[in-house]
Amino acid sequence: MFRKPTPREALDLLEFQLEVGKDLHRGELFDSEAYLLWENTTREFLTSIFGTNSGNVVNFQPSNQTIAKRKGAPQLWWNEFGRSPLSEQLIILRSALEQIAIQFDPDETSQSERRLGKSSNTDTNFPIDANEALLAIDLLKMSKMVDDKFGFDELEGICFESGFDYDQAIGKIPKKDAAIRELIGFAKRRDKLADLLQTLIQLRPGTNWISELM
């Protein structure tokens, strides 16, 4: 068990773990030892920061990777199942990091948000919290634009960057266009269209999303 870190140390530790986890998530070749080390270390950090019974620790469920490893098929497990539990772990880790970030002054919190991949309003000229402005968006056109600019294999990354659980937002829908419509509907039903649009802007910054969708 690690000693309880200071809030600044906790912020730095979890930011580092988040970046390592994102690199693992993007990888095509599965490194079982690296994933186990990351998973165990992250859980230890969360425990030392928040306590054994905290929601961040309880919800950070270990993967079933060790079972797959004993069967001698870790790459198969990764291709079929591995990214889904890692996505859930990264969402929990990001939430934990945000809980720590709010303890600091607004300037430091803004810096942390930028490191987490969230842009300020001045970066995008888009009012993130003004969901009323989203009422004017053409959702059908938004669906077509996402279909044109992203591949099916990128939808899980969009979910993660938007803070959505892929299985809840899209599930096992096999067709790309239907999956995109479901994702947009999921975001709208939960008043999270701003988060989704912010992710699209960050991932495809050369596209003038706002003017084209209004």
Q: What is the pLDDT of residue 82?
A: 64
Alpha-carbon distance 60 to 96, whole Å?
A: 11
Q: What is the pLDDT of residues 74-90, one digit of tens each?
A: 777 777 666 777 878 88
Place of tokens 């919290």: 129
Asked if residue 128 has pLDDT above 50, the reply is no
Exposed/middle/buried for 86, CB within 10 Å: 0-12, 13-18, 19+?
buried
DSSP state of 79: I
Q: What is the pLDDT of residues 40-60, one digit of tens each?
A: 889 998 998 888 888 888 888
Query: What pTM was computed for the model?
Result: 0.51
User: How crowded is residue 72: how many other Cβ atoms within 10 Å of its Cβ?
Assistant: 8
φ and ψ at 67, to 5 degrees? -65, -45
Domain boundaries, the chain: 7-103, 130-213
Q: What is the pLDDT of residues 83-122, one digit of tens each?
A: 777 878 888 888 888 888 776 644 444 444 444 444 433 3
